[in-house]
């Protein structure tokens, strides 16, 4: 029996790449199963949640707005990157010559952003989409938004997937309140 361990996963341009290690043995299969599940998402309010493989524990109604939830899966809901491996990739890339790897700067930017995405729930928040949903001016000061989220005790970082998006464990309703406050104070 074989099981996998994701080493590096990223999205760039028009493709998604996933690098894995395959191990032999039964011990990792249970861990693979616990890293598999479903993601539930509300189109109306952007609420989302992941659950394991047992759909019996799922609610198909949004707890915030009571709309019907969309869901996807089964899919990988566990860690997507091995951060020691990503750091090693960065070290090797920094030591290489630009003539050997012409896109070195772009790759380093992606890898360094991936390091900041450590231990976040699956998915991300598209700040522009949320501002549009709230009918407020589009947020342009992502760093200020990230700082404010962190000051509230949540984790937050940019994501490599979408330049206007963030990863955070902040509840969607709290994020919306923060964006509305920024809009009313003309901060964003």
**Averaged pLDDT score across all residues of the chain:** 91
pLDDT at 185: 84
In the three-class reduction of DSSP (H, G, I as helix; E, B as strand; rest coil), residue 31 is classed as helix
Return the percentage of the chain with pLDDT > 70, whole number. 98
Number of domains in the chain: 1
Q: What is the pLDDT of residue 132?
A: 92
* 143-163: average pLDDT: 93
**Structural domain range at position 180:** 125-184
pTM: 0.83
How far apart CA 53 and CA 185 sit, in angstroms, is 44
Question: DSSP string covering 36-85, please?
Answer: EEEEEE-TTT--EEEE-S-GGG--SB-TTT-PBPEEEEEEE-S----HHH
The CA distance from 49 to 150, in Å, is 20
User: Which pLDDT band, with edges at 50, 70 and 90, does 22 fall under?
Assistant: very high
Q: How confident is the model at residue 18 (pLDDT cuts 50, 70, 90)?
A: very high
Residue 69 belongs to a domain: no
pLDDT at residue 179 greater than cutoff 90: yes
The first and second tokens of residue 68, run together, are: 């019907």
CATH number at residue 151: 3.30.56.70
Residue 188 pLDDT: 59
138 part of a folded domain: yes
Task: Write out the two tokens for 58.
Answer: 């799922």
pLDDT at residue 126 in the model? 94
> Does residue 93 lie in a domain region?
no
Within the chain, residue ranges assigned H as helices are: 27-34, 83-95, 104-116, 127-133, 142-151, 172-184
**Contacts of 106 by beta carbon, 8 Å cutoff, 6+ apart:** 12
Partners of residue 68 on adjacent β-strands? 61
Residue 97 has pLDDT above 70, yes or no: yes
Residue 156 lies in a domain: yes
């Amino acid at each position: 029996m074989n099981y996998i361990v994701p080493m590096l996963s990223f999205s760039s341009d028009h493709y998604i790449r996933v690098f894995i290690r395959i191990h032999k043995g039964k011990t990792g299969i249970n861990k693979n199963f616990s890293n598999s599940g479903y993601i539930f998402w509300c189109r109306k309010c952007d609420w989302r949640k992941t659950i394991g493989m047992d759909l019996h524990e799922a609610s198909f109604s949004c707890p915030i707005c009571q709309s019907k939830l969309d869901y996807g899966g089964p899919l990988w809901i566990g860690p997507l990157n091995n951060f020691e491996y990503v750091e090693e990739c960065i070290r090797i890339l920094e030591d290489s010559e630009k003539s050997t790897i012409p896109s070195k700067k772009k790759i380093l930017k992606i890898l360094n952003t991936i390091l900041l995405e450590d231990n976040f729930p699956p998915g991300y928040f598209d700040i522009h989409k949320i501002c549009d949903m709230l009918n407020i001016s589009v947020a342009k000061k992502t760093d200020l938004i990230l700082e404010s989220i962190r000051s509230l005790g949540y984790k937050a970082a940019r994501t490599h997937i979408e330049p206007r998006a963030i990863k955070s464990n902040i509840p969607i309703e709290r994020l919306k309140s923060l964006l509305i406050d920024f809009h009313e104070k003309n901060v964003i």
